[in-house]
Amino acid sequence: MIKFILRILVVAIVSFFVAYFMVDRSLNYFFRPQIESVALRAVRGELHALHKELDAIAPADRARILHAEIAPLYGADIHLLPQEQVRLGDKERNQLARLGVVFREDNGIYLFPLPGEPAQWLQVRQPGDSPADRLLAWSAWLLLSLIVATALFLLWALPIWRDLNVLRNATQLMGQGDLGTRVRLSRVAGIRHVGESFNQMAERIAALIENQRSLTNAVSHELRTPLARLAFEVDLLRQDRSGARREHILQDMQADIDELESMVAELLVYARLERPTDDMMPQETIDARDWLGDTLAQVDHLAQARAVRCVVHGDCPPQVRLHRRYMSRALLNLVQNAVRYASRLVHVSLAARADGAYELIVDDDGPGIPARDRDKIFEPFIRLDESRDRGTGGAGLGLAIVQRVAAAHHGDISVHGSPLGGARFILRWPAPEARRAESQRAA
């Protein structure tokens, strides 16, 4: 706001000075000949009389006679000047050739040469204007300058007024539900950054609403299956009079309830990570190998059930900076995902890069992910082909959570082909010190 006010003030000042310059030049261009003509007509008689009287006097006696006998008879200030004190410009020489006299309007001075040697010039200075005349002249000059300055300022402000109306109309359309509304503002109006901010806001709002709509539809679809199974199992319980299958049905119901609880928990984590802040994601320094070992221990039972071996591959840095809870959740989701699809082996590696970033890599020897599907797998509840669909387990939010954890650490997640033959997930994030240094270089 302060920058905008300063910009208006600067434009107003510049407009006034430009207007003053334009008025001065315009008046001089159009009215100077008329001013010269009127001024010369007003003093032509006096100049002729002075010329006639002084031409007949010898140059040596002119100064004495002028001051003693001639000057007291005139109201003007009259002086003799030697040739070396009179310096004429090109315009004044032309004026002298045309009129026989030089009129210096700024000082109210008339100059004309006198005959004889040494060469002399007569300078006649008219009495100054009265204060009232000067006030009137300056008032007229200022009024014209203000009028022109106002016109220039309005010429600058007109695009701003138009762009403000565009913004107002776009805001009303956004309020009425038209989320595709965008604005295009003039490059010279000075508020283009406001339009860019509006468009960024509109893009963000549209993306959030579309994301929430898709998520709501996906959640509704995902909840329908376990709820339908629960309803079916309740019907079975009612029909089972003997109670022979009661325990098996109750186990199935508990499994469905566990699935619902797991889905709700992942949804809460996913929603919590939608707009993380640095205060929400404080990073700490922890032992890297202990962290990897503790996380892999949580998936050991799943790996044993599928006869998959999980190993930490390569050398790890002694320490790593991260948010323990959320990065552990991301690593756990990646390893669980790898174990579900691996044939026999999962490799996990952690490295500190030369640029100060960390790189977490999870490889498996499963069927891999087709290149056409690699951008989609990080969206919530996305189904892929038979080799990697939700039939293998999970609520479909694991990789979406990993992506949000990476973004919360100012990093990213990508998927590639693995040297083991399956999929390779690479999670990169900068250390806080490297991120601060990058911000300082950018500033």
Task: Please answer whether residues 422 and 342 qualify as being in contact, where contact means their C-beta atoms are separated by less than 8 angstroms.
Answer: yes
**Is CATH 3.40.50.300 the right assignment for the domain spanning 284-442?**
no
Question: Measured between alpha carbons, how far is 28 from 9 in angstroms, rounded to an integer?
Answer: 29
Residue 113's DSSP bridge partners are 121
**Tens digits of per-residue pLDDT, 83-129?**
888 888 888 888 778 777 777 766 678 777 888 888 888 888 766 55
* pLDDT greater at residue 194 or residue 385: 194
The catalytic residues are 221
Question: What is the predicted pLDDT for the residue at 386?
Answer: 43
* pLDDT greater at residue 81 or residue 144: 81
Question: What is the predicted pLDDT for the residue at 2?
Answer: 65
Q: Which residues contact 359 (CB under 8 A, 6 or more apart)?
A: 350, 351, 352, 353, 426, 427, 428
> Would you state the structure tokens that stand for residue 41, as one six-digit string?
């007509």
Every domain of the chain with CATH number 3.30.565.10 lies at: 284-442
Question: Measured between alpha carbons, how far is 138 from 141 in angstroms, rounded to an integer?
Answer: 5
SS3 state at 319? strand
Every domain of the chain with CATH number 1.10.287 lies at: 192-272
Question: Measured between alpha carbons, how far is 247 from 257 in angstroms, rounded to an integer?
Answer: 15
* pLDDT greater at residue 71 or residue 29: 71
* pLDDT greater at residue 300 or residue 180: 300
Question: What is the predicted pLDDT for the residue at 400?
Answer: 85
User: Is the pTM of the predicted complex or chain greater than 0.75?
Assistant: no
Measured in residues, the chain has a length of 443
Fold entry, domain 192-272: Helix Hairpins (1.10.287)
* pLDDT greater at residue 11 or residue 264: 264
Strands 120-125 and 319-322, sheet pairing: unpaired
Mean pLDDT estimate for the chain: 78
**CA–CA distance from 161 to each of 16, 186, 193, 199 (Å)?**
20, 11, 15, 19
Q: What are phi and psi of 154, to 5 degrees?
A: -65, -35
* pLDDT greater at residue 299 or residue 178: 299
Residue 135 has pLDDT above 50, yes or no: yes
Reference 295, options 268, 320, 275, 271; nearest CA is 320
Radius of gyration of the chain (CA): 45
Question: What is the predicted pLDDT for the residue at 387?
Answer: 41
* pLDDT greater at residue 340 or residue 385: 340
Element of type H or E holding 124: strand 120-125
SS3 state at 214? helix
Question: Measured between alpha carbons, how far is 325 from 278 in angstroms, rounded to an integer?
Answer: 14
Residue 321 has pLDDT above 50, yes or no: yes
Question: Measured between alpha carbons, how far is 341 from 197 in angstroms, rounded to an integer?
Answer: 44
Task: Please answer whether residues 332 and 262 qualify as being in contact, where contact means their C-beta atoms are separated by less than 8 angstroms.
Answer: no
**Tens digits of per-residue pLDDT, 195-247?**
788 888 888 888 778 777 766 766 776 677 778 888 888 888 787 766 667 78
Question: What is the predicted pLDDT for the residue at 427?
Answer: 95
Residue 345 has pLDDT above 90, yes or no: yes
Residue 374 has pLDDT above 90, yes or no: no
Q: How is residue 368 annotated by DSSP? A: -
> Would you state the structure tokens that stand for residue 23, as one six-digit string?
């008025």
Residue 395 has pLDDT above 90, yes or no: no
